[in-house]
Amino acid sequence: MGDGLGVGALRPWLRLLVRRRRRLWVGAGLLGLTLMAAIGLLALSGWFITASALTGMAVMASLDVHVPGGGIRAFAVTRTVARYLERLYNHDTVLRLLADLRGSLFAVLSRLDGATLAQQRASDWLTRLTADIDTLDGLYLRLLAPPAVSLALIGLLAAFLGLWLPTLAWWVAIGLVLAWLWLTLGQAWLGMAASRAQVGYRQRLRSLAVEHLQGLAELEAHDCTERHRRRLQGCQRRLHAAQRRLAGVTALGTAVVGLAVGLAMLATLWLAAAAWQREAVSGAVMVMLPLAVLAIGEALALLPNAFTSLGTTRAAAERLNALVAAEQRAPSGRCRRLGDGPLALSLSGVSLRYPGVWQLALETVSLSLNGGERLALTGSSGAGKSSIAALLTRQLLPTAGDIRLGGVPLAEIDETSLRERVGLLGQRIDLFEGSLADNLRIADPAASDERLWRALDWVTLADWVETLSEGLATPVGEGGRALSGGQARRLALARLWLRDPGLVILDEPFAGLDRETVESLVPRLDAWLQGRTVLFLVHQLDDGSTVPPGVTHHAHLVAGQLTGFARHCAIGQDVGKATTMPNEVRNG
């Protein structure tokens, strides 16, 4: 039944929680102390009130009121303080676990290749980082600590009852354990289908809502708004139906708690009263025992809602497990480091096919570039230029062929060394919500403010930043929204300047920049690129304003095939006809 409930899917994440086993034990202990204090408070209060009434006013002096009175106050204070500490400590633990889970998952995402990332919408990745992880944080607070503590309390309660009535202790223990089994395994089994379906409906509803809002203009233009709205409403109805089913199952669990505790209390009262008639127990004990049983309901009441939604946790774990399984794990031999200086570049028979696409994005591409040389790779949009950049940075893995940097097979290069020695300025500029300094220090965390100012001056942004009231501390907004496209691109170029790569890949480096800015940047870029191997990705070499500086070679891509490779001699030369080897090309 455990496998049917999907315990196996939770195992990898349980292992992650075990890293903080000490905090988990302390948190469970505080929860147990809180519930024990609640049971002790109710039971001792009932005993004291009954004992006082039975003793009578005439002989009240013979009853020691100080010890039970002090016990009642101790239980009340302990319950309050323990409850506060338990909430504070366990929620702090959950936040730490959330950080562990998100950090672990983000590390997995960072190692996924571009083809795998492209298979899911951005909203799906966001769901995994937020909703799925938030669901898993309940593993400890809802699914581990409460059932363990409640089962332990059942045992302690049975032992307590056994001090006076051993037979009663056995019957109460059996009844409450059976109830515990239903409230955990039974509730999970009954709510599994609806809770799992709820996860899918929520994701689908989120995706449809995003698509509806982002594509509203297109939907209106094609008169599809109402049809798409009906799809949204249908998904919402199915989600509500699943939630209603879960609410019904949870209500059943709550009723089971009340029924089980009520029957156990009634049985305890019946047998305790019989024992009192036989003078086996006092009247105060007769009242205390059923009240102790009644108090155990507080522990059992934590179980129905948590285990009814176990399917939600299981579905989230399965989705995250699938993500981990999709990770392109580094081979065991990926430990070689790249040397200093410019990196020679070699592609031999490289082909690339994206998942689910029948046509090759790159077909048997072969070229080589010596260290310190500069290649301008031209081609129309979709020709495969960005795919080559993704291959060289190992964002994609080749379908066939061999890639070497500095004579080292790309598949064997250490990840850190690859990121340090290969610099990429892509068409998409990734800026994070933070200050200008924060975004620059991604490249060099130890960079001083002086070095940051030099980087900004190099891309002609220093004068503009000096006019800002906050200077380097100026926030760039989410995704760099506070900057123009040209400013964002130059900031990314300044971030690249803070690195010391041996291979630099520049994808349309001057896109979005005016002619005056380009003319100012070209000589600075040319000087910085001295002693580095450079790959320029541009649409065409047509005039002096767009020619990358210092180009020594020119290659041309057409539909993923390399149709020409030659030394760059003059603007406008048809280098695509300078070689007779369309796919097997070497340095000329």
Judge if 416 and 515 occupy the same domain.
yes
Judge if 410 and 299 occupy the same domain.
no
Judge if 260 and 388 occupy the same domain.
no
For residue 383, which of 562, 204, 196 has the smallest C-alpha distance?
562
Residue that wins the pLDDT comparison between 110 and 522: 522
Query: Which of these three, 326, 353, 375, is where a domain ends?
Result: 326
Consecutive H or E run containing 575: none
Q: Which of 33-47, 50-64, 236-250, 518-532 has the lowest mean pLDDT?
A: 50-64
Burial of 309 (0-12, 13-18, 19+ CB in 10 A): buried
Angle between helices 7-18 and 66-111 (to 10 degrees): 100
Judge if 314 and 387 occupy the same domain.
no
Judge if 577 and 479 occupy the same domain.
yes
Look up the CATH number of the domain holding residue 224: 1.20.1560.10
Consecutive H or E run containing 471: none
- 338 falls within a domain: no
- 580 falls within a domain: yes
Backbone angles phi, psi at 339, to 5 degrees: -80, 175
> How many domains, the chain?
2
Chain segment 274-333, per-residue pLDDT in tens = 999 998 998 899 999 999 999 999 999 999 998 998 888 888 777 777 776 665 554 555
Chain segment 422-457, per-residue pLDDT in tens = 888 877 778 887 888 888 888 888 888 888 888 888
* Cβ atoms within 10 Å of 426's Cβ, excluding its own: 17
Query: Which of these three, 326, 359, 387, is where a domain ends?
Result: 326
- 261 falls within a domain: yes
* DSSP codes of every residue in 10-72: HHHHHHHHHTTHHHHHHHHHHHHHHHHHHHHHHHHHHHHHHHHHHH-STTGGGS--HHHHHHH
Structure tokens given for 171: 């019957």
- 340 falls within a domain: no
* Cβ atoms within 10 Å of 448's Cβ, excluding its own: 10
Angle between helices 283-295 and 225-277 (to 10 degrees): 160
Identify the sign of the CA torsion 246, 247, 250, 255: negative
Judge if 100 and 227 occupy the same domain.
yes
Q: Which residue segment(s) compose the domain that 389 sits in?
A: 345-587
Chain segment 450-487, per-residue pLDDT in tens = 888 888 888 888 888 888 787 888 887 777 777 787 88
What percent of the chain shows pLDDT beyond 90? 25
Chain segment 59-112, per-residue pLDDT in tens = 444 567 778 888 999 999 999 999 999 999 988 888 887 777 777 777 777 666
- 339 falls within a domain: no
- 129 falls within a domain: yes
Residue length of the chain? 588
Judge if 406 and 447 occupy the same domain.
yes
Judge if 187 and 239 occupy the same domain.
yes
Look up the CATH number of the domain holding residue 573: 3.40.50.300
What percent of the chain shows pLDDT beyond 70? 85
Measure the CA–CA gap between 423 and 417, rounded to whole angstroms.
Answer: 11
Judge if 352 and 465 occupy the same domain.
yes
Q: pLDDT class for 583, splitting at 50, 70, 90?
A: very low
pLDDT (0 to 100) of residue 127 = 65
Query: Which of these three, 294, 326, 358, is where a domain ends?
Result: 326
Q: Longest C-alpha distance within the chain, in Å?
A: 120
- 132 falls within a domain: yes
Strand 408-409: give its sheet, edge to edge.
362-369, 345-352, 400-405, 408-409
Judge if 284 and 138 occupy the same domain.
yes
Judge if 380 and 486 occupy the same domain.
yes
Report angle CA 297, 298, 304 to the nearest 5 degrees. 80
Structure tokens given for 304: 């129905």
Q: pLDDT class for 29, splitting at 50, 70, 90?
A: very high
- 364 falls within a domain: yes
Measure the CA–CA gap between 287 and 280, rounded to whole angstroms.
Answer: 14
Judge if 429 and 547 occupy the same domain.
yes
Helix (H, G, I), strand (E, B) or coil at 580: coil
pLDDT (0 to 100) of residue 292 = 95
Following CA atoms 525, 529, 534, 537 in sequence, which dihedral angle do they give, to the nearest 10 degrees? 0
Angle between helices 485-497 and 449-458 (to 10 degrees): 120
